[in-house]
Chains A and B, each alone.
Chain A
Amino acid sequence: KQEVTQIPAALSVPEGENLVLNCSFTDSAIYNLQWFRQDPGKGLTSLLLIQSSQREQTSGRLNASLDKSSGRSTLYIAASQPGDSATYLCAVRGRPGAGSYQLTFGKGTKLSVIP
């Protein structure tokens, strides 16, 4: 059974700092990996989707990398801003076949960017 871990559970950084959020998974046979942002009381917003054949994706100040062999993904946030404060979750989808429609979510990293 796939397990997804995000460490640390919470992170506090000063504004302007570059930071890295980590996501690890136990089964490297994945279809894709997706990073989400969740603001308090809100739904999940998709940030980046990395297919299994890709090594990274970029959107603005965000860069996500994928290393299937080591079972790891990182989300890099450049020049952090107070508006980046939210909980960040990663989710892994298995390859087509049994259970492939079920994503496995990490429990998230709660990021606070201090002005």
Chain B
Amino acid sequence: NAGVTQTPKFQVLKTGQSMTLQCAQDMNHNSMYWYRQDPGMGLRLIYYSASEGTTDKGEVPNGYNVSRLNKREFSLRLESAAPSQTSVYFCASTGWVGELFFGEGSRLTVL
């Protein structure tokens, strides 16, 4: 059972470079989320998608863009990476019951 799959697991970028984090879920969930986790800050919501075709900003959306490609896939793009975006990024999804399932995380370092 794959659940929520994120790629890549690790990435090192230089300031100003761009990249896309990929996320796919195989649970037929409608809602998908991107979080970042930083020491002392806890988990913070970047963007979410309540259903295919919709996306909304969360608590910390600046510097990020998202695409809900289809029901399964939700990508997060950093257009011009900054050191402040060094973090662990988690993708998650929920179905109608409202239980949240997380991926294993993507560890991003911006130099």
A residues sitting closer than 8 Å to B (CB atoms) are 31-32, 34, 36, 41-46, 49, 51, 89, 91, 93, 101-103, 105-108
Contacts and interface: CB of A to CB of B under 8 A. Distances in A.
Given A101-B50, A106-B42, A34 B58 contact: no
A49 B104 contact: no
How many of chain B's residues touch chain A, expressed as a range?
20 to 34
A91 B43 CA distance: 10
Contacts of B101: 46
Contact of A101 (B31, B42, B97): B31
B1 to A, nearest CB: 13
- By DSSP majority rule, is chain A's interface helix, strand, loop, or mixed? strand
Contacts of B92: 44
A112 to B, nearest CB: 18
Contacts of B78: none
Contact of A108 (B42, B103, B105): B42
Interface string B75-111: 0000000000000001010000111111111000000
A110 to B, nearest CB: 12
B45 interface: yes
A46 B100 CA distance: 7
Contacts of A108: 42
Contacts of B50: 101
B98 A43 contact: no
A46 B27 CA distance: 15
Given A101-B48, A102-B59, A105-B43, A49 B99 contact: yes
16 contacts: A31-B98, A36-B102, A42-B105, A43-B104, A43-B105, A44-B100, A44-B102, A46-B99, A46-B101, A46-B102, A89-B43, A91-B43, A101-B33, A101-B56, A105-B43, A106-B42
